[in-house]
Structure 1
Amino acid sequence: MTLATLQKWISPKLSIQGKMFVALGFLTLLSIVSVTSIVYVNMRDTIKRTAITSVSDSIRQADESLNVMLQEIDRLNTVAVTNKNTVIDTVLSPSEEISYEWFQEQKRITEYLSGLIDYKPYISRIAVIGLNGKVFFSGGPWIDRTFLETSTMDFMLRNGERHAYFKHLGTTEAISVGRVLRYDRETIGVVMVDLHYDFIRKTYGVKPTADSMLYVLDGQKQLVYKSDSAPASVTPGMEKAIYDAAELSSIEETAEQVIDGKPYIVVSRKSEYTGWTTRALIPLDSLLSESIRIRNLMVEVSVVVFIAVLFGSLQMSSRTTLHIRRLKTMMMRVKDGNLDFPRTEIESKDEIGDLYHVFIGMVDELKRLMEGIRTSEQAKREAELTALQAQIRPHFLYNSLNTIKYLAKLNGVPNIEEVSGALIELMRGVLGNSGELLTLREELDYVNSYVAIVKYKFIEPIPVQIQVENEDLLECRVPKLTLQPIVENALMHGFGPSGHGGFVLIRVFGEDGDLKIEVIDNGKGMSNESMVRLEESSEGTYSRFSGMGVRNVHERIHRLFGKPYGIKLYSEEGLYTKVELSFPGMGSGK
């Protein structure tokens, strides 16, 4: 019987409270019976998933623990291979055995290597093996120049930067982590650190179940570790299942396999750091032996749950319908347009309580929106008036400046006429152009207008020269008012009041598909400390005309184009200052 059929059957006969009680009771009984019927099948999957999760977590934790230790050892290797005075110079030293210089070098590098592995009990030995036959080590076992002829040395040289693998050193088992030693881009040897094999046993000594087996293979499919429960000898079928672990298509895989006629859950994981593969084999027969006990427990729990649900549904149906009726009354008042109705508090913590709070929030939000509409209409009228005033001000300013320019021309004062005209053009571009980007040609026009105004501040005008590598670059689009603050800093802070001998060059060129602009002056320059202070404090420093400081321009370029672009400062005190601005290559109209 479906839920729709049940509702149709009970609708004519019961109240809403009765309908809820009958429906909840019926659905609960149906659910419990269904669960009880299929629990035996489903609990097999649950047990398997739990086992897989437990094994996967154990393997992952062991793998991560080993990775952390190998990363620390790799850092030791890095420290060693980058130490020129103690390691590289000693390997390259022409001192011959046995001499006083050779003894001194051996003592110094041995003490250095001992200092690297002190307080690290998991390291058995650290060695520096030079291709010229020089061998230095701290720890054990003994190693000499015959190591150069081993496959281990060849493996380290071929794998280059970093690797980890299992190998036998005589009667001692260890994990070796090597790093190629280079000088002047030439390989001169290897730095190698060995781990005690007991660390591997402790790290991978996980035991998911009593009879489960765990194997660890290195990148060359050589056995690194196997659990104590693993058999001493394996059958061909078992061997194939173990060594197939090195053929994983992903980091972690789980599968069910039949090995020698017995079902197993096989969990495999490959380390991204070491390239090792760990495989756990869990027998299904022993894993599912608890299924009957779990099934009986589930039946007992189901009976208790059904009785509790019947009692709870009776209480809930009575309480829920009461709150529904209260909500209906409040909603009808809102429907009639009464937003200030008396509110009956519903304190239940279920969905009905949430619905009540959402409804009250909607009513309050509706009242707020209605008030906001009234406020926004008033603000709209005020904004229209402000916009009208803003349109009047620039036109009044342009007309006033044009009048000054006209009077200067009539009275034969060309410098006032020039300054007024330049100021008109500069302010027309700043106030009349509302866009954030404009062409480089327009930006250079603003710079020329600014230079025409400011040159009268100096006794001897400072020439500002513009060099453009390609006329097409002038159509590239750049943020408005990026060059003017830079030129202003060069003129105002780079030279004295006289400006004698001053010179400013603006160079525009393309580089690697990007637009580059350099502003170079031969002023007094800045010290390194001054440049650092400028970068740290210029956020609140403003240019006298534009109101935008060097850091402001830098951050605008960052915001528009990303961090590869922005401003770079180059200066030498008493010689020059160069400001380099970089933008992405953009064609005209972009």
Structure 2
Amino acid sequence: MWTRLKLNNTPIFTKVIIIFLIIVMPLFTLSLVLNELGKREVKSQISHSISTTIHYYFVNLEKEIERVIRAQKTFVNDEDLLKLSSVNSILSAYQRTKAINDLTGKLIALKDSSSYIKNITIYIESLGGVVTTSHLMDQPGIKEEMEAISLATYSKGIPITPWNDRLYLNLTYPTFLLNKDNDRKSPVFIQNIELSEEALVSALTSFPQEGGALLFNANWSLSNHRYTEALEPVRKFVEHRKGPSFSMEQVKVGKENYMVVIDSSAFLDATLVFYFPENLIVGQLKTYGTWFWLLVGSSLIIVILFAYGIYLLIQRPLQMLVRRFRNVEEGNFNAVQMPLRADEFGYLFTRFDHTIKRLRTLIDELYVQKIRLQQSELKQLQMQIAPHFLYNSFYMLHRLIKHDDNRTAELVSKNLGDYFQFITRNRLEEVALKDEVNHVRSYVVIQNIRFSNRIEVTFADLPRGCEDIKIPRLILQPLVENAYEHGLGETVAGGQLQIGFEHEPGKLYFIVKDNGAGMAEPELQMLSRQLDGLEEGETTGLVNIQRRLKLRYADRGGLEVLNGEEKGLIVRICIPTDYNHEGD
């Protein structure tokens, strides 16, 4: 029963389109299944190719490091190194220089044999210095630095030693040994090969596929700085996973899935991770989707042509008729020339126009007269502003000038001028909310000087986006005036006045709170009935404001008065922020 009722409430045009889509939906579904099968196959092939490439690179890196280490170990028996480290004291200056030059040449040859070598340095104990491929021969603390690297290698027992954010391959001869007093014996020589992090990162960047790469172990890591937002989540996943040394996994990072290729090396004690968004593979599957989208496009064209035909025959005439009904609902009775038709819609258009013309004649006789009466009453209410504020302000200005308080007098005169300029210069019935609020601020400044330290005022900022809302002029200031004169007028000290705003979708509230004596419950109930129009009485400022709000906004705006939680009074005005002035 409920389904049938819901279907009956659905527009005719929508029903026709839905039925047509139900007919073609099985074709779409079959095409989608075939496309997904093709995408899975291609995705599998691409993933296998990427995995093979990454594994090939890591194996080559492992072999290259192993080759460098073997070449490094050959220096243990190098003739020139043995001379400088063992019989340096009996060498002549020429022999020593020649041995250093020959050893330097061999180090340079080793460095040039691999792009992963940045620098090679050998510290020789008997020589008291270093032989290096860099330009820095005897920098301060070189011995301590090389011994620290050697000790780090000895402690961790891994080929690549991280030290001070650099990577080294270390060879110490003989290996650090501890004597019975746990003292280290000085080695004959220490050879450090500094690996080029730039070359390693460049290799990680040179993969044929677009993706992030990470080479790391527990002590160091290198990255090609791609997809950095996924770097840490992928690394944590790899560190906590348990599985084979080489695998391909899927990791969720935020809302996106990443494919992760993992390869580990026991020799290097390191792991290579290559990761990339899964969409990177799916995006390459355009060939498989060509025929599918061609079919979808053709079907959509058929649906559009069919829908356009239905639109011309049925939907457009119905929309025109519905728009005319809505215009009438909003109070717009201006005649619109409807197209001449000889079918059923033509008859509806003709009879509808005759009905609107008759309604417009009746409205001219009743509604227009009522509107004019309301506008006249509104202007009458706007003129009901008590002049006592002017008298009090001039008297206060007289006292300030008499006591030579020119600075305060200047402030009073400035705000008093702004206050009365706003009242007298603008003949519009409505003003922007920001202008009305600035008018209230001028009034508050003057009253603060008048009441001195008796009343503390808190004035909130106008919410952003509400500055240009049109409201009836002089609708807010009487609320603040009412709080000063009636709520806090007898306050000797400790008076509190809060002026604020509350913004909700479609509504803005202007709120005035005071901690004065408030109103007795019977008086408050009587005032509420007067505001609601349920009881006649003296036309006060609050009642005037309520009448103006009701004339302007009907039931969407208004004023309410409440007693505070402890004492005082709360007066709140509701102003619609989405009110359509043309629809009054």
The normalised TM-score by structure 1 is: 0.36
Larger Rg, first or second structure (1 or 2): 2
